[in-house]
Structure 1
Amino acid sequence: SAQDVTIDNYSVNSFGQVQLSIQAQEGKYYVLHAQHSSTFNWATSMAIGVSGTMVISEPAEAYPLEKYSITEHDISNPEDYDGDGIDDITEFNNMPTDSPFNFADPIDISDGSTSIPDEETFMTLATVNNVGWAPFLDDQLYVKFGILDRDTPEPKVYFINSNTYTIHASFWNGIDATVDGDDSSGEIVFNPSVILPSGVVGTYSFNFSFGDAKNFEATQKTYELLVASMPFLQNNINHFIGQNDEDSHLDNYAADFEGSRIEVVLESDVFAEINYIPFHEAEGYGFFKHMQDLNDTPGSRDIVLYDALPNSLPRVGGIITSVIQTPLSHVNLRAIQDNVPNAYIANPLDNDEIANLLGGYIYYKVENEQFEIREATLSEVNEWYEDLRPTEPQIPVRDLSITEILPLDEINFEMSSSFGAKCSNVATMRTFDLPSGTIPDGFGIPFYYYDEFMQFNNFYEEVQVMIDNSAFQNDINFRIQRLKDLRRDIKSAPMPQWMLDDLQSMHDDFPEGTAVRCRSSTNNEDLPGFSGAGLYTSKTQYLDEGHISKSIKQVYASMWNFRAYEERDFYRVDHFMAAMGLLCHTNFQNEQSNGVGISIDPIYETEDTFYLNTQVGESLITNPDPNSVPEEILLYEDPLQGGGYLVLRLSNLVNPGELVMDQVYLDQLRDFLTVIHDEFSILYGVEGAEGFGVDIEYKVTAQDLLIIKQARPWVSFWANVNADNDLGVTAIVAPQSSSSLGNSELVTATIANQGLNDISAFELELMVDGEFVESITTPQTIQPFDEADFQFSTPQDFSITGDYSVTVSVSHPADEYENNDTLNIVL
């Protein structure tokens, strides 16, 4: 028989759930009861006993201690709490078919369930189905529920398979239920993009049918019965009321909900018109241009407005789209890489304050809750861009010492200076502990071949003449056409015979009947702080296209794509040291799905998760069709957490409620991303660095094989990297402004290594009110992404009340970026 148990300790966890400590025993199980009202006591959770101190919780918000009681029961002789003829232990072990606190008879999962023990079960039952009678459910993921005999001692709770049944009546007929009065029916909606202050990602909202408002007693009974059979909840479910019944709730019932543990949300608040989504928070200046023709090419100082997403984008000053983007679209990756503002704004030209600024210079700022657009002066624009550009020419590393095409298995990570990071990263992943076939096999063509081809045809000389032309420098349309002419010349130019022979030999080594994918791999893409996404062109050599040199030259020509040239020019990259390598592997056709994954969660910034965007077949994530909605998933590092993954958004190209990728591929991706992240963090020398991630592209092939086809550093981690060697003064930490400063204050400054290489033996200089005070030369080494404080030894007299100008500078002969070398504050 049941025995009452003493509660030793009461506390509340970070999710707001109760934690009750008891002294437990093995061979026992424990039931937590809550006194919800004077007439309503119900079991809220059940736990199997362990020997010693044990903590029991429940799915909803904590009540005060006096509301709880705990009973102890024998596992060998279990009770039947709900009186349905099946004992508690049997039902506990048989969820979701059964539930120990639910009088409902078991039903087949194709019809529904009597409990939802985990998120996986919710996903099995859930659907996206737009219905005319409840517009607030449109495009939402939800599970229907029904409760019979709600207000009797034997309530029966059903979670309906909403893929099988569109309306409640069909479900009742399907299970042959006798309905004498449907006491409660409605839906439970999943809100994947909501992150609670507690850190819980994703919330649930239950509503009565049609969004009706009911009195507190009916709502409370429904809420508590649902929650008792949803043990996976983390105090993350609320009650939704439709707009048509909001006044009824506010006028008649709202006061009764105050002080309860039921959070009420109103449709007018939840579904206020979404007219703004910030994708990358930043600010910028530029010429405001409406890009009505996707074939037009903007300049690097343009702030562009698009009504459809372009397939590629050069460097621009800022981005506005009137269509919703994806976080991993090329457009947003460019915004992140270049740290320019990017947002979706609904119908922006309907706003005269925006429309009237077209064709002029503007200031544009994207923030989390709002954006700012105002007129700007040409002098503001010029000053802004001069500060952004590197102060010195950038010389990309180009090693021409490797003069042969090599199999990927003979290329290592350090060979990126000869083959490009894309090629060397794929080759390097073939050495990781990944299943055979996960990483494509193939060949790398080194920079040497590109350089020899350019010299053989005197293209370097042609490029020099082109760049020196004043029309090329000052007329964007002339520059676009002249680069197009150069690309045409490269595609039609001859290759030396030895090069043709080497390429043919490589091509012959692929299996007969294989189409070969020839992918760009330059020395200025897929690098820390510079992804190069969308700049260069890859080509497939199909079986009927003759010599593979055709595709190789097409890729070489893309070195001179307008957007690539503009990018290098803005960053002062030496065009003559830029080089094109190639990664060649078997082409994949008719894949089941493709996607992009990040070995962290850079979008919602959750911990211990991987971020995935996946779409069906060959529908691209990076350049999505305007009507294509990809599947968005947070993959837990721990496969036992929350069923292993959290679906944030379903693809609109599969059946409602379906996932694009089967569970087996999600489990594989978890393992692959873990290995890839750990290995590359070692190779890049950033082990344990906060924010480091690896961006991968993956496919599930027609042969059911999960392929990783690319890996590169996640761009935002390196967004503030302006040069390989870069020290900056980031703060003057002492003294702080105060009315009590004395006549012997010491100045301390923070110096950060914002580059990619170790830097030591640098000099610091202190000036106060424009007068030189002291310089320090220190032998200390600061590693990339690290910082250190340095104190000057000359005391300063700040005892007289007033303002003091304090300036600290850092210098080093190898420092390649000057704009952060000096910091001035007013003390």
Structure 2
Amino acid sequence: MKPFFRILVSATLALACTAEPTTPTDTPSREPVEEACQIAEDTTAPDSLKRLSCASDFSAFASQPIDTSIPGARSVKVVLDRYDNDALYFQNSQKYAIHYAFVSKNLSGAGKPVVGSLADFNQTEYYSPDRRFLLGAVTYYEGPKVWALEIAPYDTASATLVTQLYESVRDAGYFGASLVFHPTSEAVQMEAKNLSASIRVMSTDELFAAIDYQPLNLATSVGQLRFLTAEQLETTYLSFRDIIVLDRIPNDISTILGIISEEFQTPLSHVNVLSQNRKTPNMGLRGAMSNEKLRSLEGKWVRLTVGAFEWSIEEVSAAEADAYWETHKPTPVVLPSVDMSVKDLRDIEEVVDESQGTLREAIKAAVPAFGGKAVHYGVLANTPGVPLRKAFAIPAFYYVQFMEENGFYEKLDQLMADPDFVNRPEVRDAKLDEFRKAMKAAPVNTEFQELLKAKLAADYPGQTMRFRTSTNSEDLEGFPCAGCYESHTGDPSDWEDVLKAIRKTWATVWLFRTFEERTYSSIDHKSVVMALLVHHNFPDEEANGVALTANPFDPTGNQPGFYVNIQVGGDAEVVHPPAGVTSDQFIYEFHQPGLPITYLSRSNLVPSGTTVLSAAQVYELGQALDKIHARFSPAYGPASGNSGWYAMDVEFKFDGEPGETPKAIIKQARPHPGRGQ
């Protein structure tokens, strides 16, 4: 159990209400009124104050957590001691990061009850109705200019206790007339309905409505600033050294040095994962297309910085831009060499040999034959409690065989020796399209076909099959290349349909956007090989989603949880939804008592007041995510010695036969690159 550390949520989309709608007349009518400050200038701030009398007092105590995606948020923790005549303490949150640290140092012993262990403190002070302390935080949200009292998402305080804390804080703070109560989870929101009408409850969506900045990947880069609409991107070629201002995020975008989008994004969109992999800044900014500061720099070389709380942009000289590129252009990536010794169509449970060495070593040893996706799937298949489709892998040998037997490597040599192909993106795009068409029409080795027919007839009779990309240049630590390749479905009852699916999937190695991504990282294109992960497809799934096995807004670990983004089955993809479509996004604190859920947005494709998943389904998913997180820790996480950010990026479905409750099925897991520094 972790102590309360104000949950930090993502301004990703227009968010659905978590409280009763309010009108402008409901907003606090009084501005904060400052009094004489308690802390004199140029003096050391004390451990606590009984009152916060001015902005300077608040600033001296307020913490600025780096993991927030709500810029400008500042927070001071509060403690009300019910044993000591309801004494209220604003704690120095810069000195004491958690409530327990302050309470055990300052309110234990010396005539007062001794504060026990952290575990005992957490168990009683967040869950017991007879608790000694009421714990919370006063947070100032700079964007909407809101003062909010918040309690932990898992705190079970009754409306009576919340009221006691609220009134005490209101009366002891210079901001008191403006103070609202902000519920931080579904459970807290339910209890907030029992509060008196005199306490203004402000929902998460109301807070986000006034937020104009969304930091997604924290980084700095220097490039040429360009303005484009998503529609214009379909016919416009970009340079590696561009920084682009967009009206909305498209499904795909070429490799560039930075993104500013007018429409807010989802943290697990392909575009953002690619930005994280490239270590380039990515942010949302309402009104970006007409922002005066940005428009004044259009076409110029600029330095863009995306920070946790604020962003900045400034003009630089062409010489500075050239020097930056020379210093910061990506280090060439060398891919694992293909293992041509493996030719059998291997059941997924046998893809990774964990009998020797570490899990990390076993994964690396299997990638040259089976690619990143199939290898990680193979680890999942040997993880008890993780629900998967039965699957097998077609090794990379057969892709190489196909390329060699049809002379495609020689054709690639000719293309890459053509100056027009190398120097002109429109020529490169057209030639790669011709190359893919040739691949889709080329013959497939007869012996391989017979081997595949026998496998499908014996183990997957009557099933349509998904042929999924699994290359040595995706789903890898340091180079995930999310969305670089495309999978396809074939029906074995029509064998040509199977061959068509395989060739179309193999051909996606040579998609223009994928070719550009590899070029940006100086990858030898001919070193890329594609194995295939094969299983029955999901023709009518009830829901599809993506998740992180850690809270991306809390890399410190003080507020652990799973981040989940899920949408009902259909045409609206969860990672890049159509304009105007929102999905369910939430933080699931799986390891906290009560399993609190904090919704960040709601799907507008389900009836109002409902969610895509039931509570039982969320728990089912949480069990799988927990097992996945622990399973891969020896390869990528703390169990491997990694003391930094660790999360697995997981794709999943909920699927079931007619009349059945849909069950979770994990599609893939790969290491996540993190949110930047």
TM-score in terms of structure 1 length: 0.56
CA distance in 2, matches of 1:681, 1:391: 26
Classify 1:468/1:629 alpha carbon distance in 2 versus 1 (closer, same or farther; 3 Å).
Answer: same
Residue number among 416, 431, 454 corresponding to 1:505 in the alignment: 454
CA separation of 1:581 and 1:195: change in aligned 2, threshold 3 A? farther
% of aligned pairs identical?
27
Alpha-carbon distance between aligned partners in 2 of 1:382 and 1:494, rounded to the nearest angstrom: 47
AA partner of residue 524 (structure 1): S
Distance 1:234 1:378, change over 3 A: farther
Instruction: Map residues 384-399 of structure 1 onto 2, 5 A cutoff.
Output: 384-390=324-330, 394-399=334-339
Contact 1:697-1:711 within 8 A present in 2 as well: yes
Structure 1 residue 277 corresponds to structure 2 residue 214: yes
Q: 1:694 aligns with which of 634, 648, 660?
A: 648
Q: 1:431 to 1:585 in 2, by over 3 A?
A: same
Measure how far apart 1:279 and its partner are.
Answer: 1.4
Give yes or no for contact 2:335–2:472 (8 Å, CA) kept in 1: no
In structure 1, what residue type is equivalent to 2:499?
S
Flag the structure with larger Rg. 1
Question: Which segment drifts farther, 540-549 or 676-685?
Answer: 540-549
Do the aligned residues in 1 keep the contact of 2:225 with 2:300 (CA within 8 Å)? yes
- Alignment match of 1:580 (pick from 507, 530, 533): 530
Match of 1:452 among 356, 379, 401: 401
Alpha-carbon distance change, 443 to 288 in structure 1, aligned in 2, over 3 angstroms: same
Does 1:563 find its partner at 2:513?
yes
Contact 2:154 2:596 in 1 (8 A): no
**Aligned with 1:287: secondary structure?**
strand
Measure, in 1, the Cα distance between the counterparts of 2:225 and 2:177.
48
Superposed, 1:254-265 pairs within 5 Å as 258=173, 264-265=179-180
| 2-structure distance, mates of 1:584, 1:316 | 33
5+ residue gaps, structure 2, are 1-48, 51-75, 89-99, 101-106, 114-126, 131-142, 181-199, 353-362
Residue 255 of structure 2 corresponds to 315
- Matched with 1:328 is 268
Task: Find the aligned partners of 1:33 and 1:239 in 2 and give their Cα distance.
Answer: 12
Q: 591, 600, 609: which one pairs with 1:657? A: 609
AA partner of residue 295 (structure 1): E
Structure 1 residue 391 displacement after superposition: 5.3
The amino acid that maps onto 2:465 is: V
Alignment CA distance shift 1:499-1:237 (3 Å): farther
Deviation at 1:373, TM superposition (A): 2.8
- Report what 1:628 is aligned to: 581
More helix by share: 2
Task: Tell whether 2:602 aligns with 1:680.
Answer: no
> Within 1, Cα distance between the matches of 2:497 and 2:583?
37
Paired letter, 1:631: D
- Secondary structure (helix, strand or coil) at the match of 1:326 reads coil
Q: Deviations over 1:566-603 (max 9, x none)?
A: 12222121212111111111111222211111111113
Q: State the shift of 1:499 in Å.
A: 2.1
Shift of 1:552: 0.9
Aligned residues of 2:469 and 2:530 also touching (Cα < 8 A): yes
Distance in 2 separating the partners of 1:676 and 1:344: 31
Q: Distance in 2 between matches of 1:550 and 1:556?
A: 10
Q: Could you say what secondary structure the match of 1:656 adopts?
A: coil
Correspondence list, 1:356-755, <5 A: 356-390=296-330, 394-412=334-352, 413=363, 414-434=365-385, 438-509=387-458, 511-542=460-491, 546-605=496-555, 606-618=558-570, 619-638=572-591, 640-641=593-594, 643-684=595-636, 686-687=638-639, 689-690=642-643, 691-703=645-657, 704-716=662-674
Report the equivalent of 1:246.
none
Distance in 2 (CA, whole Å) between partners of 1:350 and 1:228 is: 46
Cα 1:450–1:495 shift into 2, 3 Å: same
* Deviation at residue 396 of structure 1 after TM alignment: 2.9
Distance in 2 (alpha carbons) for counterparts of 1:490 and 1:236 = 68
Closer, same or farther in 2 for the Cα pair 1:457/1:546, shift >3 Å?
A: closer
**SS of 2:674 mapped into structure 1:** helix
- Paired amino acid for 2:396: F
Conserved? CA contact 1:299–1:476, under 8 Å: no
Equivalences for residues 120-131 of structure 1 within 5 A? none
Against the structure 1 CA distance between its residues 236 and 389, is the aligned structure 2 distance closer, same or farther, given a 3 Å change threshold? farther
Whether contact under 8 Å (2:149, 2:179) holds in the other structure is: no
Q: CA deviation at 1:510?
A: 5.1
Comparing both structures, which one devotes a greater share of its residues to strand? 1
Asked if structure 1 preserves the Cα contact closer than 8 Å seen for 2:332 and 2:523, the reply is no
Alpha-carbon distance change, 391 to 640 in structure 1, aligned in 2, over 3 angstroms: closer
Quickly say closer, same or farther: Cα 1:494–1:237, change in 2 above 3 A. farther
Q: Which residues of 2 match residues 805-820 of structure 1 at below 5 A?
A: none
The 3 A distance-change label for structure 1 pair 646 and 685 is closer
- TM-score, normalised to structure 2's length? 0.68
Give the length in aligned residue pairs. 515
Distance, in Å, in 2 between the alignment partners of 1:195 and 1:700 is 40
What's the offset of the Cα at 1:453? 0.8
Contact 2:227 2:289 in 1 (8 A): no
Q: Which residue of 2 aligns with 1:133?
A: none
Superposed CA RMSD in Å reads 4.1
Preserved contact between residue 599 and residue 610 of structure 1 (Cα < 8 Å): yes
Decide whether aligned partners of structure 1 residues 551 and 281 sit closer, same or farther in structure 2, where only a CA change above 3 A counts.
same
Q: Deviations over 1:530-580 (max 9, x none)?
A: 111011111122465734121111111111111211122221212121111
Shift of 1:203: 11
Change (3 A) 1:203 1:653: farther
Q: Is the 8 A contact 1:315 1:567 kept in 2?
A: yes
The aligned residue for residue 228 of structure 2 is: 291
Q: Output the CA distance in 2 between the equivalents of 1:228 and 1:689.
A: 40
Give the drift of 1:195. Answer: 12
Residue type of the alignment partner of 1:695: D
Please, which of 242, 248, 255 is the counterpart of residue 302 of structure 1? Answer: 242
**Structure with greater contact order relative to length (CA < 8 Å, sep ≥ 6):** 2
The CA deviation string for residues 620-653 of structure 1, in whole angstroms up to 9 with x for no partner, is 2212222122212221232524x44333333222
- 2:222 aligned partner, one-letter code: Y
Alignment of 1:185-224 (within 5 A): 200=152
Structure 1 match to 2:19: none
User: What residue in structure 1 maps to residue 44 of structure 2?
Assistant: none
Q: Does the aligned pair in 1 maintain the 2:217–2:281 contact within 8 Å?
A: yes
Q: Separation in 2 of the partners of 1:564 and 1:35?
A: 62
Task: For 1:614, give the aligned amino acid.
Answer: I
The 1-side partners of 2:151 and 2:316 are apart by: 40
| Distance change >3 Å, CA 431–CA 621, structure 1 → 2 | same
- Deviation per residue, 1:331-381 (Å, 9 max, x gap): 211111111111112222323432243344332222233322333333333
Which 5+ residue runs of structure 1 have no aligned equivalent? 1-10, 22-31, 37-56, 58-63, 71-94, 101-190, 205-226, 241-253, 721-827
Residues 503-541 of structure 1 show CA distances to partners (whole Å, capped at 9, x for unaligned) of 333333454442211111100110112111011111122
CA distances 1:21-57 after superposition (whole Å, capped 9, x unpaired): 7xxxxxxxxxx99699xxxxxxxxxxxxxxxxxxxx9
Residue 285 of structure 1 deviates from its aligned partner by 2.0
The alignment partner of 1:715 has SS state of coil
1:229 is aligned to 2:187 = no
Amino acid across the alignment from 2:606? V
1:423 corresponds to which letter in structure 2? Answer: A
Please give the alpha-carbon distance, in whole angstroms, between the structure 1 residues aligned to 2:334 and 2:589.
Answer: 40
| Counterpart Cα distance in 1 of 2:78 and 2:506 | 59
Aligned residue identity for 2:579? P
**One-letter code aligned to 2:523:** V
Q: Which amino acid aligns with 1:630?
A: S
| Counterpart contact for 1:281–1:365, Cα < 8 Å | yes
TM-aligned CA deviation for residue 237 of structure 1:
5.8
